[in-house]
Structure 1
Amino acid sequence: MNVGFIGTGSMGGMLVEAFIRSGALPPEAITVANRTYAKAERLAARHPGLTAVRSNAEAAAGRDIVFLCVKPLDFKPVIDEIRASVQPEQLIVSITSPVLLAHLEEWLPCRVAKVIPSITNLALGGVTLVIYGSRVEPGQMAMLEGLLSHISQPVRIEEKHTRVASDLSSCGPAFMAFVLERFVDAAVEETGIRREEAERLAVGMLLGTGRLLAGEGLTAGEVIRRVSVPGGITAAALKLLDAELDGVFNRLIRTTHAKFREDLAKVEQAFAVKHGPA
């Protein structure tokens, strides 16, 4: 398998690093292109055998899978650049949620899919969301999910649920890290405990809680019930949290969906032009 990456920024670079670290892909199987060529060169220097090229078309030509790891408004120019280089049997994979499969299938002559990775993939864990276009064959689905399974648990979803699924799997680590950071801040401010000690305790707690939920099969509700003794300290704190957080996550989801709709409208406008030459 040979794989191309167009865009080596935060998520594109993370995917390359994770695939190599996990052994899913040797550097020799990877070709990368980036708008700033020096970034692609630095990635190649860190992983001898990896090829950095100057054009997106070169990164796409002849690859089994091509990951498009660019921002929503950069998508249309990239597609215009690679259209003539891709062949019908190739699989082009977007990691950008506001770019719809309909956009890709209209403008590209090949098979298309969308995946939403997570920063947790860098630790070879978490979930990667997977959505397929109508032209993707079962063998290509198996190839893509087999690749992703080295760094995550691939989960197929419906495209209409992309945003909320991304909130949980991809944005979720930032939300949970934000809460953890505020928890540590409060512990330091209120008690004077050393920050390094508070962070070590909080991170260990989060890791252990994840293992209870994933490895031991406990639900979140079961963890709450087993930790919280009626009339005890945890129960008093949970009562406070329940009151203070009432509706917060509903508003959070409404906020992410509003931003998604804003980005989608901009993408729709960018794609609302006639086809240029293939």
Structure 2
Amino acid sequence: MNVGFIGTGTMGSLLIEALIASGALSPSQISISNRTFAKAKALADRYFGMRAEYTNAGAAYGCDIIFLCVKPLEFKKAVDELKPIIRPNQIVVSITSPVLISHLEGELDCKIAKVIPSITNYVWSGASLCIYGQRIDEEDKQLLEDLLSHISEPLRIDESYTRIVSDLSSCGPAFISFLLEQFVDAAVEETGIGREEAQRVASAMLLGTGLLLTEGGLTPADIQARVAVPGGITAQALHLLRRETDGVFNQLIRTTHAKFNEDVVKVSTAFIGEEVNGQ
């Protein structure tokens, strides 16, 4: 199997490096391109056998799967460059949430999928959210999910839930890391504990909590109930958190959805020359 990656920015390079490190792909199976060729060349130079191509068409030619890892407003240009060389048996995968399946199926005569990765895939953890177009069959889906299973848990979702599952899976690590950072900052400021020590303890706590929620089979409510003794220190602190964060995550979701809808309109305008609302 040969796999092409168009775009070697943060997420593109993360996927490439994780798939190689996990043994899912060898460098010789991978071709890459980037708007700045020197960036693609620098990545390819680190992995013997990987091919850096000057053009997107060159990176995609002859590949079984092509990952499009470019920004929303760069998609139309990338897709136009693929049109002359793409073949019906190839699978083109967008990793950009505002680019809809319909955008790509309307432009490319091939099998279309959308995968929303997560930074957690870098350590072979977390989910890969999989959305499929009408032309892709079960065998193709399994091929893609078998590849992704080396670095994640592939989960099939409906495209109408793209934004919210992206919030939870893809944006979630940034949100949780922000809260953990605030917790550590407060610990250092209020008590004088060393930042490195506080961060080490907090990070180990977060890892253990994640295992309780997955392998341990507990729910968030279960953990709170087991830790917070009625009338105790944790219970009093949880009461403060509930009061102070009431509605914060609703606002967060509204914010990400508003930006997503704005980007969908921009992408749709680029593809079809007129504005559309949502999905």
Q: How does 1:106-117 map to 2 (within 5 A)?
A: 106-117=106-117
Q: Distance in 1 between matches of 2:46 and 2:229?
A: 52
Q: Find the counterpart in structure 1 of residue 239 from structure 2.
A: 239
1:171 alignment partner AA: C
Q: Distance in 1 between matches of 2:140 and 2:14?
A: 22
Q: Find the counterpart in structure 2 of residue 5 from structure 1.
A: 5
Q: Find the counterpart in structure 2 of residue 214 from structure 1.
A: 214
Q: Find the counterpart in structure 2 of residue 204 from structure 1.
A: 204
Q: What SS class does the counterpart of residue 107 from structure 1 fall into?
A: coil
Q: How does 1:31-110 map to 2 (within 5 A)?
A: 31-110=31-110
2:97 alignment partner AA: S
> C-alpha offsets along residues 74-104 of structure 1, whole Å, 9 cap, x if unaligned?
0000000111111001000000100000000
Q: Percent identity?
A: 62
2:87 alignment partner AA: Q
Q: Distance in 2 between matches of 1:212 and 1:160?
A: 30
- The unaligned stretches of length 5 or more in structure 2 are 275-279
Q: Distance in 2 between matches of 1:48 and 1:87?
A: 28
Q: Distance in 1 between matches of 2:272 and 2:170?
A: 29
- The unaligned stretches of length 5 or more in structure 1 are none
1:251 alignment partner AA: Q
Q: Distance in 2 between matches of 1:61 and 1:47?
A: 20
Q: Distance in 1 between matches of 2:99 and 2:186?
A: 40
Q: Find the counterpart in structure 2 of residue 177 from structure 1.
A: 177
Q: Which ranges of 4 or more aligned residues in structure 1 deviate by more than 3 Å?
A: none
2:269 alignment partner AA: Q
1:181 alignment partner AA: E
2:155 corresponds to 1:155: yes
Q: Find the counterpart in structure 1 of residue 277 from structure 2.
A: none
Q: Distance in 2 between matches of 1:80 and 1:204?
A: 47
Q: Find the counterpart in structure 2 of residue 139 from structure 1.
A: 139
> C-alpha offsets along residues 142-181 of structure 1, whole Å, 9 cap, x if unaligned?
1000000000000000000000000000000000000000
Q: Distance in 2 between matches of 1:85 and 1:165?
A: 33
TM-score by length of 1: 0.98
1:180 alignment partner AA: L
TM-score by length of 2: 0.97
Q: Find the counterpart in structure 2 of residue 127 from structure 1.
A: 127
Q: Find the counterpart in structure 2 of residue 186 from structure 1.
A: 186
Q: What SS class does the counterpart of residue 89 from structure 1 fall into?
A: coil
Q: Distance in 2 between matches of 1:272 and 1:157?
A: 25
Q: Distance in 1 between matches of 2:96 and 2:194?
A: 40
2:219 alignment partner AA: T
CA shift at 1:61, angstroms?
1.1
Q: Distance in 2 between matches of 1:272 and 1:23?
A: 40
CA shift at 1:273, angstroms?
4.2
Q: What SS class does the counterpart of residue 63 from structure 2 fall into?
A: coil
Q: Distance in 2 between matches of 1:47 and 1:176?
A: 33
CA shift at 1:45, angstroms?
1.0
CA shift at 1:272, angstroms?
1.8
1:105 alignment partner AA: E
1:137 alignment partner AA: D
Q: Distance in 1 between matches of 2:3 and 2:273?
A: 30
